[in-house]
Amino acid sequence: MLHTSCPGQFIRVGTVVKNVLVLILIALLASSGGLSTLGFARTAASIGSAALYLDRDGADSVSASPATWTRGPGTSMRVCGNGPQTRLTEVAMTFFHGLNTGDFSTWRAVLADDFTAIYTPTGPATLNAETAQTVNESFRVAFEDLHFEIDRVLVGASCDFVAVYWTATGTHTGPLVTASGGVIPPTGQSAVIPGVYTAEIREGEIVAEWTHWDQLSLLIQLGLVQPL
């Protein structure tokens, strides 16, 4: 089990960020990725005071495999924290490792016994480990080349919340199951979707996680809904 307790002091970028400034920061970051108001409102409520952990800038290559982080030359990756923030991020990255590879075993290994998930807009229901994995696997079936790039990571100053801003790409080659239980046949269309993932992590385990992404944009890119 990864130990993620936070020491009393750690390196930060600049001074301690007050809650009101964090709300502004998150809103600005979210607006650059086209996220919904609900998405970054949830992130703001979860993160509270935060320190910017990582920001991918163009040439930065950020892998969603656990414990694998690379930086290209001449880039502006910014890091704060002296270790616990890195370990929290590694735990959160297991979610994306599963989505990118189809192997969710590493993610399942770090889920708490009372784990819950809410995946908006997939559905309002609170999911457990089994039902959450079913939802995630359904996207691997619908988009066999599904790939997530990590854009930004925010780690809460309390060392128990992580927010990950991501961009997903994929080609719709399989049946896509909807929140109502319907099935959308393959369209053969490709899509690029931004989103945000938030996780509450305690003692190396994911207690709860939330996702928010632009479903309307996906339906438009798949040719199922006409743009306004």
Summarised one tens digit per residue, pLDDT across range 4-23 is 334 333 323 333 333 334 34
Bridge partners of residue 51, in order along the sequence: 155
Contact 27, 95 (CB under 8 A): no
Within-domain flag for 142: yes
The whole-number pLDDT of residue 125 equals 83
For residue 26, what are the domain limits? Answer: 19-221
Residue-by-residue pLDDT tens, the chain, 228 positions? 433 334 333 323 333 333 334 344 444 444 444 333 333 333 333 444 444 444 444 323 344 433 333 333 333 334 444 466 778 899 999 999 999 999 999 999 999 999 999 998 776 689 999 999 999 999 999 999 999 999 999 988 777 899 999 999 999 999 998 877 889 999 999 999 999 999 999 999 999 999 999 999 999 999 999 987
Q: Would you state the pLDDT for residue 120?
A: 85
Res 31: pLDDT: 44
CA distance 116 to 120: 13
The CATH number of the domain holding residue 135 is 3.10.450.50
Residue 209 resides in a domain: yes
The pLDDT value given to residue 83: 61
DSSP string, the chain: ----PPPS----SSSPPPHHHHHHHHHHHHHHTT--HHHHHHHHHHH-SEEEEEE--TT--B--STT-B---TT-------SSHHHHHHHHHHHHHHHHHHS--HHHHHTEEEEEEEEEETT-SSPB-HHHHHHHHHHHHHH-TT-EEEEEEEEEETTSSEEEEEEEEEEE--S-EE-TTS-EEPP---EEEEEEEEEEEEETTEEEEEEEEE-HHHHHHHTTSS---
Residue 227 lies in a domain: no
The answer, yes or no, to whether the previous bond of 175 is cis (omega within 30 of 0) is: no
Q: Determine, yes or no, domain membership for 12.
A: no
What is the Cα–Cα distance from 173 to 176, expressed in whole angstroms?
9
Within a domain: 100 = yes
| Predicted pLDDT of residue 78 | 40
Q: How many domains does the chain have?
A: 1
* pLDDT at residue number 123: 67
What are the structure tokens assigned to 218, written together? 């996906």
Q: How far apart are CA 192 and CA 121, in angstroms?
A: 16
* Integer Cα distance of 52 and 204 in angstroms: 20
The answer to whether residue 43 sits within a structural domain is yes
